[in-house]
């Protein structure tokens, strides 16, 4: 069948990401003798520069990976999670926010900053699993920041959308992103960020020591206890305008950075029709995809007879998928968070899944229906209960852009990045960098980048799994995926998209594993998602019963969904999802890759 670009196949290495320059940087690193971990770090650091509206050095990244043969955390072949999600500052308590008169954590500004974990995770991955020195993988990002790179249209559109806010409230961002006359940069022309380039150079200058590992440790120290931490601490002492409509200082301090490190942990897994799918734990939304798949495992529409006519799923499969997602996301709201007592095993258990599966009926549900795993009564945030009852508070006029993800018209304004890598040794990496968006927090003038705003995902209410607390990770939406076949790491994939990430990955997973489509065909297949649960991002909207679909799903499928009670919003034909994927056939050693055509930025490279 026709695809927008070929599924790549080879035996040396594959890199797929949301920007062609990042994929090229990763592939060049493989060609220079690096492994998949070196290549992922090179691509990830490049994404900080070329997709600054989607991620930055002040953001975060979760990484799922498996080593091909030389072992590592959990041993060779076993997937592991590296958490580059920073925690809330020591001073960020519920009382500190309520004393400011806030009922939600603002989506922009300085109050929502967590410890920037992206650089810590990338350097930790490089130190522990890579083979190359820091300068070999940072050189691409450094060159693009210092010498310039052609801006993609979405960066210029994003800057234009917040240019007045920059001029009025965030002068350091205006100095970085606007011309002297106040105009946004021009798409396609070279854009330079010399201050960011200087930050990277200072990082390399600090990377001194007798061994490769010691030099990377020195760079980590420069970031988390040295000049970067000092600049962040100082900048957060000055108020900045945020979504509340008022300026506030940040809670983040240098001590918060110094006391944090990226950490390894085992993934949550689900065995599903011959596959084992691995995700990050309940501090992410990763288990929601596993819950949705577990629910669908007993639904005929998602079984071996599932129909994909010309790569288009039928209405029965879309309906079942949407209803399974609603149930999984309702559980996400009630049970997920960075807490030891999150009942993941119960949520994925056969008895619980069987009980929940019975709620998938012939008609669309408009209710938020969390379950009772292990007999525990669910508790939803008061804000969600009030919103469901139509009592949602009116937020202040937005100041900047919090999570700039897909709106209900399917217009992608950006949000996050993704990169997947596989090498000839069988190493697999899947990473979803995000945060530190240029449009959601003011630029730190001495560093050339902005802080993240991930703390907006916390609830300012005690007693919830995702209640704000110092030194706690917010329940993030970032969720890379890694799958094993017969116990062997085989497939890495993921997508930007905020709350839609798991849903678009579900579309891909069903198309690939059930529909039999190859990686590129599954990425190209029409996508859908529902907004019938609370958004993770300020102002925490939800639209009960809504399903957003690409128009390529077809009039008959759309009409069938409406007959089932779904409120269908038809988006543009190529507007939902920004997936990429790589795979390795353990029997033949053939490597494959596919990348997303939507947005005209994603690309795969390999041979």
Residue 279 within any structural domain of the chain: yes
Residue 75, pLDDT score: 57
Residue showing tokens 């590296």: 82
Residue 548 within any structural domain of the chain: yes
The Cα–Cα gap between 140 and 149 comes to 11
Spatial CB neighbours of 546, under 8 Å, sequence gap ≥ 6: 408, 530, 531, 532, 566, 567, 568, 569
- The H or E element spanning position 257 is helix 254-258
Residue 147 within any structural domain of the chain: no
| Per-residue H/E/C for 106-123 | CCCCCCCCCCCCHHHHHH
| Phi, psi dihedrals of residue 25, rounded to the nearest 5° | -65, -40
| 23 pLDDT more than 70 | yes
Kindly compute the dihedral angle of the four CA atoms of residues 553, 554, 555, 559, in this order, to the nearest 10 degrees: -30
| 203 pLDDT more than 80 | yes
| 399 pLDDT more than 90 | no
The Cα–Cα gap between 301 and 132 comes to 47
- Secondary structure of residue 148 in the 3-state scheme: coil
400-422: pLDDT as tens digits: 444 444 333 333 334 799 999 99
Residue 392, pLDDT score: 55
231-249: pLDDT as tens digits: 999 999 999 999 999 999 9
146 to 194, 214, 442, 583: CA distances (angstroms): 5, 26, 20, 34
| 396 pLDDT more than 70 | no
The Cα–Cα gap between 485 and 463 comes to 39
- Residue 302: which pLDDT band, with cuts at 50, 70 and 90? confident
| Percent of the chain with pLDDT strictly greater than 70 | 94
| 70 pLDDT more than 60 | no
Residue 303, pLDDT score: 78
Residue 341 within any structural domain of the chain: yes
HSE, side-chain direction, 13 A CA sphere, residue 396: 17
157-173: pLDDT as tens digits: 999 999 999 999 999 99
DSSP 179-247: -TTSPPPPTTSEE--HHHHHHHHHHHHH--SSSHHHHHHHHHHHHHTSHHHHHHHHHTTS-EE-TTSSE
93-150: pLDDT as tens digits: 999 999 999 999 999 999 999 999 999 999 999 999 999 999 999 999 999 999 999 9
Instruction: Choose between 77 and 229: higher pLDDT.
Output: 229
Whether 135 contacts 271, CB under 8 Å: no
| Percent of the chain with pLDDT strictly greater than 90 | 90
Residue 553, pLDDT score: 96
Residue 461, pLDDT score: 97
182 token code pair = 């106040």
Residue 77, pLDDT score: 82
Q: Which of 30-44, 232-246, 299-313 has the lowest mean pLDDT?
A: 299-313
- Residue 1: which pLDDT band, with cuts at 50, 70 and 90? confident
Residue 525, pLDDT score: 96
Q: Which residue range forms the structural domain that includes residue 599? A: 268-374+403-414+486-606
Domains identified in the chain, total number: 1
Residue 15, pLDDT score: 98
Closest CA to 13 of 343, 290, 470, 425: 425
Radius of gyration of the chain (CA): 22
Residue 100, pLDDT score: 97
- The sign of the dihedral angle between the CA atoms of 410, 415, 419, 420 is negative
Residue 280 within any structural domain of the chain: yes
Whether 55 contacts 417, CB under 8 Å: yes
Residue showing tokens 């209640």: 467
160 to 179, 181, 183, 295, 365: CA distances (angstroms): 11, 13, 8, 43, 39
- Residue 74: which pLDDT band, with cuts at 50, 70 and 90? very low
Residue 605, pLDDT score: 98
Residue 402, pLDDT score: 47
Residue 390, pLDDT score: 58
- Secondary structure of residue 595 in the 3-state scheme: strand
Mean residue pLDDT across the chain: 93
Residue 388, pLDDT score: 63
437-454: pLDDT as tens digits: 999 999 999 999 999 999
DSSP E strands in 353-499: the ranges are 419-423, 428-431, 443-444, 449-450, 481-485, 488-494
- Residue 308: which pLDDT band, with cuts at 50, 70 and 90? confident
Residue 68 within any structural domain of the chain: no
What's the mean pLDDT in 322-331?
98
Spatial CB neighbours of 469, under 8 Å, sequence gap ≥ 6: 88, 93, 94
Burial class (CB in 10 A: 0-12, 13-18, 19+), 225: middle
In whole angstroms, what separates CA 43 from the centre of its chain?
A: 15
Residue 554 within any structural domain of the chain: yes
The Cα–Cα gap between 347 and 96 comes to 33
Residue 386, pLDDT score: 82
- Residue 468: which pLDDT band, with cuts at 50, 70 and 90? very high
What CATH code is carried by the domain that includes residue 335? 1.10.246.130
In whole angstroms, what separates CA 480 from the centre of its chain?
A: 7
Whether 45 contacts 137, CB under 8 Å: yes
Residue 561 within any structural domain of the chain: yes
Residue 301, pLDDT score: 85
Whether 110 contacts 451, CB under 8 Å: yes
Q: Which of 75-79, 298-302, 442-446 has the lowest mean pLDDT?
A: 75-79
Whether 496 contacts 18, CB under 8 Å: yes
465 token code pair = 């799994």
The Cα–Cα gap between 41 and 606 comes to 17
Residue 415, pLDDT score: 76
**Model pTM above 0.85:** yes
């Amino acid at each position: 069948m026709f695809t927008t670009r070929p599924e790549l196949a080879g035996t040396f290495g594959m890199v797929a990401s949301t920007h062609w320059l990042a994929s090229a940087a990763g592939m060049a690193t493989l060609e220079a003798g690096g492994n998949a971990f070196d290549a992922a770090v090179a691509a990830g650091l490049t994404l900080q520069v070329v997709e600054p509206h989607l991620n930055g050095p002040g953001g975060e990244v979760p990484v799922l990976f498996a080593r091909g043969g030389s072992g590592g955390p959990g041993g060779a072949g076993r997937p592991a999670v590296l958490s580059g999600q920073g925690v809330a500052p020591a001073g960020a308590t519920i009382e500190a926010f309520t004393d400011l008169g806030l009922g939600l954590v603002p989506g922009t500004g300085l109050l929502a900053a967590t410890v920037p974990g992206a650089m810590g995770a990338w350097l930790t991955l490089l130190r522990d699993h890579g083979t190359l020195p820091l300068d070999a993988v940072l050189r691409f990002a450094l060159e693009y920041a210092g010498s310039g790179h052609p801006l993609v249209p979405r960066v210029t559109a994003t800057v234009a959308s917040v240019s007045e806010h920059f001029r009025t409230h965030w002068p350091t961002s205006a100095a970085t992103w606007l011309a002297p006359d106040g105009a946004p940069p021009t798409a396609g022309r070279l854009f330079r960020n010399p201050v960011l380039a200087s930050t990277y150079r200072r990082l390399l200058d600090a990377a001194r020591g007798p061994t490769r590992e010691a030099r990377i440790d020195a760079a980590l120290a420069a970031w988390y206890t040295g000049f970067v931490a000092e600049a962040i601490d100082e900048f957060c002492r000055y108020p900045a305008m945020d979504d509340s409509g008022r300026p506030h200082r940040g809670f983040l301090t240098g001590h918060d950075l110094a006391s944090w490190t990226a950490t390894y942990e085992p993934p949550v897994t689900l065995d599903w029709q011959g596959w084992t799918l691995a995700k990050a734990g309940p501090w992410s939304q990763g288990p929601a995809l596993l819950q949705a798949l577990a629910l669908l495992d007993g639904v005929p529409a998602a079984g071996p007879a599932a129909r994909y006519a010309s790569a288009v799923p039928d209405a029965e499969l879309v309906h079942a998928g949407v209803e399974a997602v609603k149930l999984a996301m309702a559980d996400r709201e009630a049970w997920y968070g960075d807490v030891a007592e999150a009942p993941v095993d119960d949520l994925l258990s056969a008895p619980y899944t069987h009980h929940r599966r019975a709620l998938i009926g012939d008609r669309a549900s408009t209710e938020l229906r969390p379950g009772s795993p292990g007999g525990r009564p669910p508790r939803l945030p008061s804000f969600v209960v009030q919103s469901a009852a139509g009592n949602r508070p009116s937020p202040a006029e937005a100041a900047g852009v919090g999570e700039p993800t897909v709106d209900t018209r399917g217009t992608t304004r950006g949000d996050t990045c993704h990169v997947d890598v596989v090498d000839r040794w069988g190493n697999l990496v899947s990473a979803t960098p995000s945060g530190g968006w240029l449009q959601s927090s003011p630029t730190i003038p001495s560093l050339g980048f902005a802080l993240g705003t991930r703390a907006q995902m916390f609830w300012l209410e005690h007693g919830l799994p995702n209640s704000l607390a110092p030194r706690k990770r917010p329940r993030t939406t970032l969720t890379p995926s890694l799958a094993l076949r017969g116990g062997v790491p085989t497939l890495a994939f993921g997508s930007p998209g905020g709350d839609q990430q798991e849903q678009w990955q579900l579309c891909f997973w069903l198309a690939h594993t059930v529909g039999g489509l190859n990686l590129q065909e599954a990425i190209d297949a029409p996508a859908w998602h529902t907004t019938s649960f609370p958004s993770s991002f300020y102002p925490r909207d939800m639209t009960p019963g809504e399903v957003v679909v690409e128009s390529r799903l077809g009039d008959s499928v759309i009409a069938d969904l409406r007959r089932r009670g779904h409120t269908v919003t038809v988006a543009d034909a190529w507007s939902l999802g920004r997936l990429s994927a790589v795979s390795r056939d353990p029997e033949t050693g053939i490597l494959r890759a596919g990348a997303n055509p939507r947005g005209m930025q994603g690309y795969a490279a390999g041979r």
